[in-house]
Structure 1
């Protein structure tokens, strides 16, 4: 094992946060029974928050952010993993209370790891990352509640974001008619390339007054926004339709009533990709290497180095980033 390695470290001194690239040794790594050489991580809004001063999500300092990682096992005391095995880790406490993926070496509990499935490279796994896994889990829960491609159009809100754009691509690949909502006019062509059959401006989903029940439009929805957008989607579901809620960029308060649920049998499905059951996690990563793998996955993301990470996190926090960004940590 290498004697030193680089990592992006967030610290706190006198109540203010500091974030910088540092050189660490294996002795600096947290407890865990598997050590891996990280090949790729990814950039998520949660990572940008963790790297910002006075954030409220990091639970211990110093901390290495990065809620995603993919790499190769170096050492393992768990019989399920051997040196050389390619693995993925997303969610759990990564980057929040346990060192995450912005590090050339990482040590994690074996229970957090998933073997790299057939059909995916380590790079592709991080092009998906938590965003792709969240999109897959949303679709999985919609299907569990009976959604099929023949039931009617499916709405994806916040469609130009990481989760939303991947959900559009996955649903279209499965044969669904996808209606994508975004506030970014410049993203329309990209969303059509991903498979969106129709595109709605986000303002169409947030009128000044939202009746609890509206015209029945969609058989299902993946909502990455929350707030008024989620209320509009719930009131516009077809009878028995389901909404998978996985985001709060539009707010945590949902101005709706019980009517969509008791008069149309609408289902509100909560999506938690952080502490998802291990068996479901493994099942969905296998699907992400199979029927849920978006076409042209390499083209969906851009790649940066660890040195470019600080500036990229600043862009993500301001909302000026675009699409999926992966971080290369090993050649």
Structure 2
């Protein structure tokens, strides 16, 4: 076999579109492995790459997909051999390196994670970078002293990939969870997320201009940024923690230092892309064991390469929910 199928994004007259094409194999270099991809997943960064966002992907044509899980079919690595089940996630995969929306990927050994015991390739991609980011956010809260008795945790973007998984992990760890989303959700959806209550955008988008607000929650996991993040910080209980991992609302943060110096609130950054490998493995092992959640079919949608464009458009228009896995 000299080629394989992949979802290739091309640019024509300023318009970017993705189609399934045949791509030729290239020779394996020392320290690299070739992985037959069984599943990938859709993340917001993938949707940006597929729509020509040069802040994510500089050159086209390009194969997006920042996640992949599968089996090693060829190796010039001392760390991984043929037949090993692996996860490849983050780093430059799917950004400026051909990504997981392909039957095969070819990557440096330093990007590869052994598949945790009892985790399947599909389960790994139901989590994907979004689930990893959610778990890393929870990890950062715990490492900085967050406890359930300090008050409920607000999770923004609760119907999205990061938010939905963060809610479920927090619930498993006995935290009260306030699920915040731009649209209301049913009692059934709240039960699936493990949330005890919900917020609409109004409650997390303070427009008063006051430097601080009445304490209202113990901490937060935020994917929005901008004034939402500012609001979460201004109303956080003393010594609470707020994590930030996204800027779909805005990259700006306009506020005073008062929540930090008068209440001891901590703002914790979460960087999934360049997370050190030892911590990366620890987080994946937690997802496979102690932090494993019920991967409800109501929050997981499956597609093949031909159906990707539909879900990419849903994500770009902020109409997606849960997780989308791509079966190769």
Give the TM-score category using the shorter length: over 0.9
Corresponding residue for 1:60?
Answer: 59
CA offsets per residue over residues 261-311 of structure 1, 9 Å max, x none? 111111100111011111110000000101211123555311111111122
Does residue 129 of structure 2 align to residue 163 of structure 1? no
Q: Which moved more, 1:14-23 or 1:163-172?
A: 14-23
* TM-score normalised per structure 1: 0.94
User: Does the 8 Å CA contact 1:134/1:273 hold for their aligned counterparts?
Assistant: yes
TM-score normalised to structure 2 length: 0.94
Q: What is residue 239 of structure 1 aligned with on the other side?
A: 238
**Unpaired segments ≥5 residues, structure 1:** none
Give the corresponding residue for 1:101.
Answer: 100
Partner of residue 10, structure 1: 9
SS of 1:325 mapped into structure 2: strand
- Sort the Cα spacing of 1:164 and 1:190 in 2 relative to 1 into closer, same or farther, 3 A: same
CA distance in 2, matches of 1:197, 1:103: 40
Matched, 1:307 2:318: no
Distance 1:111 1:53, change over 3 A: closer
- Residues 149 and 177, structure 1, Cα contact 8 Å, conserved in 2: yes
Q: Is the 8 A contact 2:30 2:76 kept in 1?
A: no
Mapped partners of 1:309, 1:248: distance in 2: 23
The range that moved more, 148-157 or 26-35, is: 26-35
**Structure 2 Cα separation of the partners of residues 323 and 162 of structure 1:** 5
1:207-230 C-alpha deviation (Å, 9 max, x unpaired): 321422222222221011111111
Report the Cα offset of residue 196 of structure 1: 0.3
Q: Counterparts of 2:141 and 2:282 in 1: how far apart (Å)?
A: 15
Q: Which residue pairs with 2:265 in the alignment?
A: 266
Task: State the Cα distance separating 1:206 from its structure 2 match.
Answer: 1.1
Contact 1:92/1:275 (<8 A) preserved: yes
How many matched pairs? 328
**Larger deviation, residues 147-156 vs 20-29:** 20-29
Structure-to-structure mapping, 1:248-287, within 5 angstroms: 248-287=247-286
Give the 3 Å change call, closer, same or farther, for CA 215–93 of structure 1 in structure 2: same
In 2, the alpha carbon distance for the partners of 1:100 and 1:187 equals: 36
Contact 2:28 2:34 in 1 (8 A): no
Distance in structure 2 (CA, Å) of the matches to 1:186 and 1:153: 18
8 Å contact from structure 2 (residues 39, 327) kept in 1: yes
Moved over 4 A (4+): 13-16, 28-32
Deviation, 1:53, is 4.1
SS at match of 1:185: coil
Contact 2:29 2:76 (8 Å CA) reproduced: no
How far did 1:16 drift? 4.4
Q: Given the superposition, is the C-alpha separation of residues 250 and 30 from structure 1 closer, same or farther in structure 2, using an over 3 Å criterion? A: farther
Structure 2: runs of 5+ lacking an equivalent: none
Comparing 181-190 with 236-245, greater Cα deviation is found at 181-190
Tell me the distance in 1 between the aligned counterparts of 2:312 and 2:296: 22
CA RMSD, 1 decimal:
1.9
